[in-house]
Amino acid sequence: MPIASRKTAAAKTSKTSRATKTSKAAPRRASSAGADAIALLRADHKEVSALFEQYEKARAATRKKALVDQICGDLRVHAQIEEEIFYPAVKTALKDRELVPEALVEHASMKSLIEQIEGRAPEGEEFDAKVKVLSEYVKHHVKEEQNELFPKVRATRLDLEELGQRLAQRKAELKGEGDSSTSEVGRSQPVGVEA
Ligand SMILES: [Fe+2]
Ligand SMILES: [Fe+2]
């Protein structure tokens, strides 16, 4: 009996560790060329969440402003490539009448908050509150995309590599247009961007 229970325990442990290993080994590629559509969008989500974390720790106004401008710029580009390329493709592939429309409404709320903070001086509690609420909106939206939308998209026959190339290309174009003013917050620029 002790042997049996030891065996069970061992099996359980190895299963758990295997499961952990597998999930850790899931594809996690950089946000530029070569990533499939979902890997690219996930990398964007991760990057912006790290920027929100940096904002929470930041104290100096110049640092806060640089971070907010970076966050707003990144979110605008991300929302735009989803709206122009990803959402229409997945809406058709999934015959979706719910998730994509909801995502678009959420994008609209985020953009309205972005308009209230982008380019403004980061002064006072209200500014911090707006950044905080924006980060909460983003967190909620990202969770829905990653937990509900992306798994459904993965199960379709959509060519995610091709879609990823189109997203990367459009992202590089948009970043090229918007990079002239701010951006010294230590983040790599997309590969192959020509201004
Ligand atoms: Fe989105
Ligand atoms: Fe997204």
Can you tell me the distance from the alpha carbon of 185 to that of 67, in angstroms, rounded to the nearest whole number?
A: 7
Compute the distance from residue 54 Cα to the ligand 1 centre, in Å. Answer: 21
Structure token pair of residue 188: 């790599």
Residue 49 Cα to ligand 1 middle (Å): 13
At position 31, the amino acid (one-letter code) is: S
Residue 26 has pLDDT above 50, yes or no: no
CATH code assigned to 32-177: 1.20.120
Which ligand is nearest the CA of 43, by number?
Answer: 2
- Ligand 2 center to 133 CA (angstroms): 17
Closest CA to 56 of 143, 136, 145: 136
- Write out pLDDT tens, residues 40-58: 999 999 999 999 999 999 9
**pLDDT tens digits, one per residue of 109-120:** 999 999 999 988
Domain residue spans of the chain: 32-177
Mean pLDDT of 118-126: 90
The per-residue pLDDT for range 61-95, each reduced to its tens digit, is 999 999 999 999 999 999 999 999 999 999 999 99
Question: 65 is written with which tokens?
Answer: 């402003």
Q: How many angstroms separate the alpha carbon of residue 19 from the centre of ligand 2? A: 26
